[in-house]
Amino acid sequence: MNILVGSRNPAKINAVQAIFPHAKIDGIEVASQVSSQPFSHEETLEGAINRARECAQTKKGVMGIGLEGGVTELSGQIYLCNWGSLVDEEGNEFTAAGASIPLPEEVANGLVKGKELGDIMEEYTQQQGIRKKEGAIGVFTNQLVDRQAMFSHVVTLLKGQYEFTQKRMAE
Ligand SMILES: O=P(O)(O)OP(=O)(O)OP(=O)(O)OC[C@H]1O[C@@H](n2cnc3c(O)ncnc32)[C@H](O)[C@@H]1O
């Protein structure tokens, strides 16, 4: 099985490798075609789908996976939101959402002012490249769920739906 992941972010590529251990996996740069800081479930989902579609269209016989991180406003708070999309070799599309937790007010304030979460988290933690490592979800869950683990769950949900469809078609 050949899988193209629409990102070079190791947190995303390693999540796919963990769930598809026997697949040949490559990460490629694609256009999410949404803003660099998606600000709703819809926009984050759209980014994931666009990434997966572009990957699947790059080569025949490959599966495309897109993973997108964003934020969304809910009941007066800003939440992390995460989405994934899988487009299989036949063009069937699957989607799944990831974990969502509220962000502290000081982080949310920066987002409302138009800053990107990745930049805010670097300032907040005084560390570089947080989005490629534990991510905001790792920081604010005391490292119990890091970005790779969170995206691994999304990829598991995608793989499960794909396998269910394959099984049904074989019956
Ligand atoms: O290289 P790509 O695949 O684009 O990975 P990314 O982390 O930069 O991009 P995403 O599209 O997943 O996320 C959109 C923005 O939100 C930021 N972001 C999302 N989730 C995050 C997290 O858990 N921790 C830190 N930054 C996050 C990220 O840095 C981007 O600015």
Q: How far is CA 171 from the centre of its chain?
A: 32
CA angle, residues 125, 137, 114, in degrees to nearest 5: 65
Please tell me the distance between residue 117's alpha carbon and the centre of ligand 1 in angstroms: 7
Give residue 113's pLDDT.
Answer: 93
Those residues whose C-beta lies under 8 Å from the C-beta of residue 9, and which sit 6 or more positions away, are 27, 131, 132
Residue having the nearest C-alpha atom to atom 8 of ligand 1: 131
Our answer on whether the CB atom of 137 is closer than 6 Å to any ligand 1 atom is yes
Our answer on whether the CB atom of 146 is closer than 6 Å to any ligand 1 atom is no
Domain 2-170 fold is Maf protein (3.90.950)
**pLDDT per residue as tens digits for the range 62-88:** 999 999 999 999 999 999 999 999 999
Q: Confidence band (pLDDT; 50, 70, 90) for 165?
A: very high
Radius of gyration of the chain (CA): 16
What are the structural domain ranges in the chain? 2-170
How high is the ipTM of this complex?
0.92
* Ligand 1 atom closest to Cα of residue 69: 12
Give residue 45's pLDDT.
Answer: 98
* Ligand 1 atom closest to Cα of residue 80: 20
Please tell me the distance between residue 71's alpha carbon and the centre of ligand 1 in angstroms: 10
Please tell me the distance between residue 147's alpha carbon and the centre of ligand 1 in angstroms: 10
**pLDDT per residue as tens digits for the range 81-103:** 999 999 999 999 999 999 999 99
First to last CA, the chain: 21
